[in-house]
Amino acid sequence: MQATIGLICVRTFLNLIPVSLAMASAAALCQNTPVPPAQTPALVQSAFANELKAAQDTTHPMRYRMRKSSPRLTTTKELIETEDGTVAMLVAVDDKPLTPADAEKEQDRLQTLLNDPSKQRHRKQSEADDMERALKVLRVMPTAFLYADAGPVTTGAGTAEKFTFVPNPNFDPPDLETHALTALSGELLIDTAQARVVRLEGHLQQDVDFGWGILGRLSKGGWIIIDQAQVGEGAWRVVKFQMQMTGRLLIRTRTFETTEEQSHFSSVPAGLGYQQAISMLHNASPPNAAGGR
């Protein structure tokens, strides 16, 4: 399953809005693809159409490394995308290689996964559920905002067109996952040659209440930054995701502060099974704990 910008966006909001609340809103799900406002720039519409298509593409599975850091903990994992869902192996904690004992525990965990296919089926179903939510977010992105062209900019990969965006006052969010978009403003960079999103930066300009504030609230001032790049053979992936948000569920307040960096991409055969991926991870030599591209 590809980690496109749509999946990362929806992961952000699923971190902030408990899945139970999102599922409670399923009856309100709009099944139709919204029609973008007449003033939505054509490049924006094309880019999100391409992201929507890429989110459903399984022809370019990848092996890669993910370094996830928060104030409490930093972990580095080796991941392989397969037709049975993604398989991951922990290789470092706080940028230090696993101890021999912890490395043996991780190998034992993979062996348990290999011996019990139901665990991997459960993971694949979770990924499929995330994908469905991601598609909902992607479908409304051209509709949820009003975009203004801010001109060309130079990026490390070439030329991109910069757009600013603010909430569309006529947008009626169909579910909880998309409700937070009603308070998000920011900037969007689109690769002009391939019409792909290379950067999205969003800031919450006001508090977002769920259930009139009874169920929960996202606090003003939270932000996300997503960087995406071409990583080989025409495949695009999110290479960096940063988020800082404060949310309240009922009476509990929690701050989400995390950075995810994905690197060391390499292609794996289409149709690869999860058992083969586990074998590849079993036989892999531990990567440099510090990561990097």
Is the pLDDT at 245 greater than 50? The verdict is yes
- In this predicted structure, which of 23-32, 173-182, 190-199, 236-245 has the lowest mean pLDDT? 23-32
- Rounded CA separation 32/47 (Å): 19
Task: For the chain, give every domain's residue range.
Answer: 5-28+39-282
- Rounded CA separation 264/226 (Å): 18
Is the pLDDT at 201 greater than 90? The verdict is yes
**What average pLDDT does range 42-71 have in this prediction?**
91
Is the pLDDT at 72 greater than 60? The verdict is yes
Is the pLDDT at 213 greater than 70? The verdict is no
Is the pLDDT at 61 greater than 60? The verdict is yes
- In this predicted structure, which of 44-48, 78-82, 181-185, 216-220 has the lowest mean pLDDT? 216-220
Provide the percentage of residues in the chain whose pLDDT is more than 90: 53
Is the pLDDT at 165 greater than 60? The verdict is yes
Between 129 and 102, the more confident residue is 102
pTM for this predicted structure: 0.82
- pLDDT confidence of residue 16: 44
- pLDDT confidence of residue 272: 94
DSSP string, 140-164: HHHHHEEEEEEEEEEETTEEEEEEE
- Rounded CA separation 261/249 (Å): 28
**What average pLDDT does range 10-34 have in this prediction?**
38
Is the pLDDT at 211 greater than 80? The verdict is no
Is the pLDDT at 236 greater than 60? The verdict is yes
DSSP string, 29-94: ---SPPPPPTTS-HHHHHHHHHHHHHHT--SS-EEEEEEEE-SS-EEEEEEE--TT--EEEEEEET
- Rounded CA separation 39/115 (Å): 54
Q: How confident is the model at residue 36 (pLDDT cuts 50, 70, 90)?
A: low
- In this predicted structure, which of 11-15, 113-117, 132-136 has the lowest mean pLDDT? 11-15
Q: How confident is the model at residue 90 (pLDDT cuts 50, 70, 90)?
A: very high
- pLDDT confidence of residue 255: 81
Provide the percentage of residues in the chain whose pLDDT is more than 70: 79
Q: How far is CA 204 from CA 58, 83, 124, in A?
A: 33, 36, 32
Q: How confident is the model at residue 290 (pLDDT cuts 50, 70, 90)?
A: very low
- Rounded CA separation 153/118 (Å): 48
- pLDDT confidence of residue 181: 85
Closest CA to 80 of 108, 110, 101: 110
- Rounded CA separation 129/125 (Å): 6
- In this predicted structure, which of 10-19, 57-66, 156-165, 207-216 has the lowest mean pLDDT? 10-19
- In this predicted structure, which of 28-37, 113-122, 134-143, 274-283 has the lowest mean pLDDT? 28-37
**What average pLDDT does range 104-121 have in this prediction?**
93
Backbone angle region of 115, left / alpha / beta, with phi > 0 → left and psi within -120 to 50 → alpha? alpha
- pLDDT confidence of residue 131: 81
